[in-house]
Chains A and B, each alone.
Chain A
């Protein structure tokens, strides 16, 4: 059972307190987008084995959404951070690079 710390309220929460929200940092494609970019936004996900950025909601707690940087294979958590950002913050990226020297970001 995963243990993630909610950055909004500071609680280290069991997975049963949380709801997953899929891949983080997607860019919304609105009415102006062409078919390919809209398809990408709606359906295409990286689903990497390894470092991944995810959305979670502390649904049975403070109710806030947040982001988590996690290794999908080892389940190591590099950190959790605010949902109100379009890219992972530097301290999280530094932590990931320290733990996964070969990692070059999710293309």
Chain B
């Protein structure tokens, strides 16, 4: 491992050169600058997963130890994917390079590196496609934008496909809907064929495969972590909630990203779930086997994503629940919304979700039988089923970050806003071009939330942070709400770096702070043991 790299000051990082290099992009070699890339995947994780070419390697080394004949593997892999994915084939063929996507990418905005323009990032692979799969590229070569596949190209792919967070913002602006996320997903699949992944993805994937969650929490650790949250809830509210694990016959299975089980402010969101479900008297269970909502397999390959996702329906079936509620997470919901049913459906052993409290039938999930916690909660609020005291959040001026995947891979936009508006009196939207379907990525999605690439994370999050800064200055916003575990893991560092003074919270934490539970003692602190406004000694 390289020595720890010093993170540049925000002032330095914000000096972004948008000048294009003097050399053509095909002649501009890729650079591996410490602080901007992630460590390579570890041998043991690839062995656990049975993935190709397990070995110790480092992207900083000259020799990446790819197997003999890797070119054939990649090209055959491309051919296979061209025949399996119409999206890939069409996206390779029809781009006109109009450049509308260029300044829509957070990584381009924050690095000024032209290869981070989605169009050029796709061109990295398109140029190889042209060379080996089109006549014009074969005969005209570089004139047609084609080039040979060699080790430099492979390293360039690795660098830039792990500088894309698969957020799909470019595809909103593309006149043909070309989705760089799709290109990156397939690019990463190809890289994985020769053993080129990053540690921050393959580690969690191996954990999730064997232990059920990315963090690698074993069953007793999950129960233990939740038990200590239960203790905290009792201290704060005087109420002891009673979560159950792997309980057969429960009505509902609840699955959330394991990030909610460890570390602040994830655990406060998790405490929120526990309190809400207790207050409702919900007949639900946790699972230690399917203890991960997120899916880092999705950042590896379609097969890997499917292998991890298998556990959700399998566990729902084993436990005999009626339907599934999913917690706050970003890419988890793209997978659950656009992939799970296709992979492992039909979920005919489950029932169409019906809220036991309001009777609302969730027709929108009639096939997958899995609903989002925000859909469930917004419905409760609409029907006045919760006793809420939003003044408990009066010290907060809240803004809301739409996570990429729930926005552009699902369209979950108003549900969390309805909750926030019901539980907070001070809510301010960030500028129009940075929210909802045009939301900016946090900068660390798709498995790029490591620590060795901190500089790149701070860059990638710059457009998001800058929009937060706007409402911080204009309205005094001091809390960034979100519905994603990666947001909760990454934003605290991002806010400290760009906008000191802005905290980070899950929406369900805000809700739980405002939730007046039956029989609770007078609360003096919030879920973080901070004094409530007007209740503590500091006011």
Instruction: Tell whether A pairs with B.
Output: no
A-to-B contact residues, CB < 8 Å: none
B-to-A contact residues, CB < 8 Å: none
